[in-house]
């Protein structure tokens, strides 16, 4: 997967122009349904998606086709987990990715591709060959303090910003179960473990050297108290996008390497349920 930093927020000027009203992070439902046609170059040429946009059909169980593949590709480039990749087949991974996007867009979390969901994707998907999105992004400020990372629990995405507050990338994550939740709030990086230390921690705590993946970043609360949570890799990438952990935030191993290299001890991490969290500052528009 292309991790090129100069393509993260790229989007055609035509897409940006028609989305001037989408400055707020969420919801997007009202603006999404107003567009009469699909305009994004990822979707505009698909007859299958034209039928979805018109309301003539929805894509769910048993669906397949090039239009669905284009939607899968957009979800992947926006940082939503889709373990099966853009295989042009609707399955459990696609349903989960759509549900997570629908949370982000302020839509009913059905997991099927309906007209409202497609219109929201049409408004927010990056240009072909690019990653990320240019609108409806979280602010890199939490309670007035700059943060390097925003973790959106319910949409299962991790947003990485540079020290100046520019978006670097968006990664899929997996978070805590209902019984062992990941707790929202402002946290800081307490320690960074390299691969050897990460494997040693897995062997010591879980009798599994690979359970924490390639790297681990230990977190404390902003006041210095231990949080009992970490950012780390995973030995089970198929579970990304869900609520499956004991409270830690899991990432693909290639993504935790990026996070580990980008972050320093003391950097702040904002954990929120959704991007509507009132502690986040004014939403970001890039490009």
- pLDDT per position as a tens digit, 74-132: 999 999 999 989 999 999 999 999 999 999 999 999 999 999 999 999 999 999 999 99
Q: Which residue has the higher pLDDT, 230 or 3?
A: 230
For residue 142, give both structure tokens.
């939490």
- pLDDT, average across residues 27-40: 56
- By percentage, how much of the chain surpasses pLDDT 90? 83
Min mean pLDDT across 6-15, 52-61, 168-177 is at: 6-15
Is a pLDDT exceeding 60 seen at residue 147?
A: yes
pLDDT at 281: 86
Contact 69, 88 (CB under 8 A): yes
C-alpha span between 73 and 95 (Å, rounded): 14
C-alpha span between 172 and 156 (Å, rounded): 6
Please provide the DSSP assignment of 41-63 as one string. Answer: TTTTT-HHHHHHHTTS--B-TT-
- By percentage, how much of the chain surpasses pLDDT 70? 85
Q: Is 189 helix (H, G, I), strand (E, B) or coil?
A: strand
Grade residue 198 by pLDDT with cuts at 50, 70 and 90.
Answer: very high
Is a pLDDT exceeding 70 seen at residue 1?
A: no
pLDDT at 194: 96
Contact 43, 122 (CB under 8 A): yes
Query: Domains in the chain and their CATH numbers?
Result: 5-124 (1.10.101.10), 141-272 (2.40.440.10)
Is a pLDDT exceeding 60 seen at residue 15?
A: no
Q: Tell me which residue of 124, 137, 101, 86 sits closest to 276, measured CA to CA.
A: 137
pLDDT at 286: 55
C-alpha span between 48 and 58 (Å, rounded): 10
Grade residue 37 by pLDDT with cuts at 50, 70 and 90.
Answer: confident
pLDDT at 2: 40
Q: Which residue has the higher pLDDT, 209 or 287?
A: 209
The answer for residues whose C-beta is within 8 angstroms of residue 146's C-beta and 6 or more apart is: 140, 163, 165, 268
- pLDDT, average across residues 154-167: 97
Q: Which residue has the higher pLDDT, 205 or 17?
A: 205
pTM across the whole model: 0.85
C-alpha span between 227 and 217 (Å, rounded): 12
């Amino acid at each position: 997967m292309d991790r090129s930093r100069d393509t993260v927020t790229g989007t055609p000027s035509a897409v940006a122009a028609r989305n001037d009203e989408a400055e707020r992070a969420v919801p997007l439902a009202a603006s999404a349904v107003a567009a009469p046609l699909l305009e994004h170059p990822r979707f505009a040429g698909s007859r299958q998606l034209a039928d979805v946009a018109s309301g003539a059909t929805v894509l769910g169980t048993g669906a397949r086709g090039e239009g669905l593949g284009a939607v899968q590709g957009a979800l992947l480039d926006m940082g939503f987990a889709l373990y099966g990749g853009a295989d042009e087949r609707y399955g459990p991974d696609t349903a989960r990715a759509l549900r997570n996007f629908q949370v982000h867009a302020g839509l009913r979390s059905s997991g099927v591709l309906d007209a409202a969901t497609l219109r929201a994707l049409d408004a927010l998907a990056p240009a072909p060959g690019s990653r990320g999105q240019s609108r409806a992004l979280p602010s890199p400020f939490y309670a007035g303090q700059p943060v390097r990372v925003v973790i959106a629990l319910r949409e299962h995405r991790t947003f990485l910003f540079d020290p100046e507050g520019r978006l670097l990338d968006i990664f899929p994550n997996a978070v805590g179960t209902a019984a062992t939740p990941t707790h929202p709030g402002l946290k800081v990086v307490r320690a960074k473990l390299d691969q050897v230390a990460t494997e040693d921690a897995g062997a010591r705590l879980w009798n599994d050297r690979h359970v924490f993946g390639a790297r681990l970043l230990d977190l404390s609360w902003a006041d210095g108290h231990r949080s009992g949570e970490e950012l780390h890799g995973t030995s089970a990438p198929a579970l990304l996008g869900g609520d499956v952990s004991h409270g830690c935030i899991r990432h693909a191993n290639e993504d935790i390497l990026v996070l580990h290299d980008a972050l320093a001890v003391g950097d702040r991490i904002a954990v929120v349920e959704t991007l509507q969290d009132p502690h986040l500052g004014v939403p970001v528009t890039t490009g």
